[in-house]
Structure 1
């Protein structure tokens, strides 16, 4: 089991943002942790606790992660790419520390606790499916995310816009080698009720833009299976 601990008392007074230690990360771990940072920004931007200030941080973070994370995965020793992704991660932290998160993290906590999978990989595999679930309640927000990801959506109808935005997220993770489905990683359909039962109690769900039932979460897990 993985339990979220949330408190202002564990927020550091000072954070040293130094990209040099990141040059020893493997490409795989870089992709996983970078997708976690991207998820922080996406969830903060659509959170029902978002604000104009968190929006600024979230959108800038999304732009940075889209531009530089694939480069950092491909060239792990390049300090400039590491700096830009670290800046993107910092901005994501400023966004979600104030706006909180959503169903992706609630479900990733449950998934990681049950299967011992890397947290960032869990987020990467769930992100597009939760976005699809949430899309109908805040399409304008997701379209802004799409623009930050470089998606051309002008002149498209609503369904086409959604497909383009979701496709951009999927291609980004696949281009960095995160191509598995949950079934490939040992998760079975029999695990889904337990996963959803744990996720529905996660505090991150409180700020998800669309209210989700336990059955909704099961369906989302099943789409990622």
Structure 2
């Protein structure tokens, strides 16, 4: 654990009805014309139209770019940037899950820094300030609205690029749990497990601090107590609000503590197979936890307790193992895939996936050293 704690987070507006603050918030950032980045699912659910009503009431102009896909590709950034420049917008607002938010961050990056998005892969490659950014999440999982990450698929290499910079943290995050009511049960489950993986990997990260640990543990408690209920009922606002808070706290935690081997590995699966990030995490996370267990059993014991496991009278090692049991039970209860083979993974992909995972920035903060053979074996177990 570092003796010096640095913490990045945007202004956060949280709660039922918070969506009504988007117009006033954009005005405070000096916006005149807002470039809205979203996807067709969010448009069809009516949330973009709701946002537009508040922007109109604030006297703001806007342009909509909704050609964002799951696991957004670098070509979408190029298209979005062209639209942003042609429309002469002066600010950017993401309305959607992690994909629209990452696209919005990437467009903002290229709007002022030039080049191609591949130029910014890695850590701290952004040198010029970005346009004002607002983020309105419509899922409870990615946490992108408060992070210094943007994850984009390079179509040519068929892998996900991690772009990491404090410049990518939006100026304002507006989190309204009411928007979660239009999500399907499957998406609710997948995004919830994504938040779970963020909280766990941030908690055991080599870069964890007391500031990130408190957010990680709180997120884990909320997820354990509310994800099943949120999947079961779209209108359970108590569960939705708790999951929105869990996603937010897990996002703050991993934005500052970074992640680990699970995400380094999942990025390769998603980039090549175009799988949902939460589904891939559900398959890989338990096996990465098993691999990492010897590095920090005390922390895994605390994870087990946060997930509601009774560890009374158990040794640290026995209690730590219950964390993995709890994660597997949660994945099963919410109905997600429990093996990568179900998602299209094949043995022949493992060598290239393993090599690329070793280059992923998220692996740097994994609590246990891992080489190519270690990563390959985890992939095989997760099949």
> Which of these two proteins has the greater Rg computed from alpha carbons?
2
Q: Which runs of 5+ in 2 are unaligned?
A: 1-158
**Cα distance, 1:159 vs structure 2:** 4.8
Aligned counterpart, 2:309: 151
- The 5 Å alignment of 1:114-125 reads 114-125=272-283
Aligned counterpart, 1:109: 267
4+ residue segments displaced more than 4 Å: none
**SS of equivalent to 2:160:** coil
Work out which of the residue numbers 201, 211, 219 in structure 1 matches 2:377.
219
Q: CA RMSD in A?
A: 1.1
TM-score calculated relative to the size of structure 2: 0.57
**Cα distance, 1:219 vs structure 2:** 0.5
**Cα distance, 1:125 vs structure 2:** 1.0
**Cα distance, 1:179 vs structure 2:** 3.6
**Cα distance, 1:158 vs structure 2:** 4.8
- The 5 Å alignment of 1:27-176 reads 27-176=185-334
Work out which of the residue numbers 339, 343, 352 in structure 2 matches 1:181.
339
Would you tell me which structure has more strand in proportion to its own residues?
Answer: 2
How many residue pairs are counted as aligned between the two chains?
Answer: 225
Would you tell me which structure has more helix in proportion to its own residues?
Answer: 1
CA distance in 2, matches of 1:158, 1:64: 23
TM-score calculated relative to the size of structure 1: 0.97
CA distance in 2, matches of 1:92, 1:162: 20
CA distance in 2, matches of 1:40, 1:48: 14
CA distance in 2, matches of 1:132, 1:47: 15
Whether the 8 Å CA contact 2:298–2:316 is kept in 1: the answer is no
CA distance in 1, matches of 2:200, 2:342: 26
**Cα distance, 1:156 vs structure 2:** 2.5
Q: Higher relative contact order by CA 8 Å / sep ≥ 6: 1 or 2?
A: 1
